[in-house]
Amino acid sequence: MSSINLIILGYLQNKEKSAYEMVKEFDSWNLSNWLKISDPSIYKNIIKLCDNGYLNSRTVKEGEMPEKTLYSMNEKGNTYFNELMEESSKHIGKVYFEFNAFFNNIEHLPEEKRKEYLKNFKNKIEERRAFVASRYNHEKQHNEITGSGFILLELYNEFYSVLQKWSEKVFDHYN
């Protein structure tokens, strides 16, 4: 299952866009904070989706601007989008934390270093939680993000609150 393809196809449901416009829009969503995604992978997947017949493309020139290719969803792309959505609903995937390797090896450190690194970890979690909570509270008051964007922000807000409590327990356990 390709999350990148799902994002691209979902975005193109009702509008045609250039690859550059999609990348800029996705950057404004801070997609890389909640999906493993990069600008080159977006470009690569757009081209593959087009080559596989899921997207239509047309080249346009507006005034003195250079030519650009606009992509839009076609019926085959819509079918593929629905298949990906169904697959996603049945396979939520596994959650892997990049810090698992850190905790797997924490007891191999001298006590002084262990305390220092655990304090670093706890502080970083607190920093991240504060950032997400601030963003969440702002969005809750101003309604700038709606629908699924807000629901995902709410998930991250709750997740970082739980992670902060857990990091405090871990810190206390080793101190």
Q: At what angle do helices 3-11 and 75-90 cross, to 10 degrees?
A: 130
Is the domain of 105 the same as that of 157?
A: yes
Is the domain of 82 the same as that of 138?
A: no
Last residue of a domain, one of 51, 67, 90: 90
93 has a pLDDT exceeding 60 = yes
Environment class of 4 (CB within 10 Å of its CB; exposed 0-12, middle 13-18, buried 19+): buried
| Residue 95 burial (CB count, 10 A) | 6
How many helices and strands, by DSSP H and E, does the chain display? Answer: 7, 3
Is the domain of 7 the same as that of 79?
A: yes
Is the domain of 136 the same as that of 64?
A: no
Is the domain of 67 the same as that of 115?
A: no
121 has a pLDDT exceeding 90 = yes
Q: Which pLDDT tens digit goes with each residue over 128-153? A: 999 999 989 998 898 887 778 889 88
The whole domain housing 85 covers 3-90
Last residue of a domain, one of 90, 112, 133: 90
Mean pLDDT of 30-41: 82
| Residue 61 burial (CB count, 10 A) | 9
Highest-scoring range by mean pLDDT, 16-30, 65-79, 85-99, 140-154? 65-79
pTM: 0.75
Q: What rounded mean pLDDT belongs to the chain?
A: 91
Shortest CA distance to 170 belongs to which of 105, 98, 121?
121
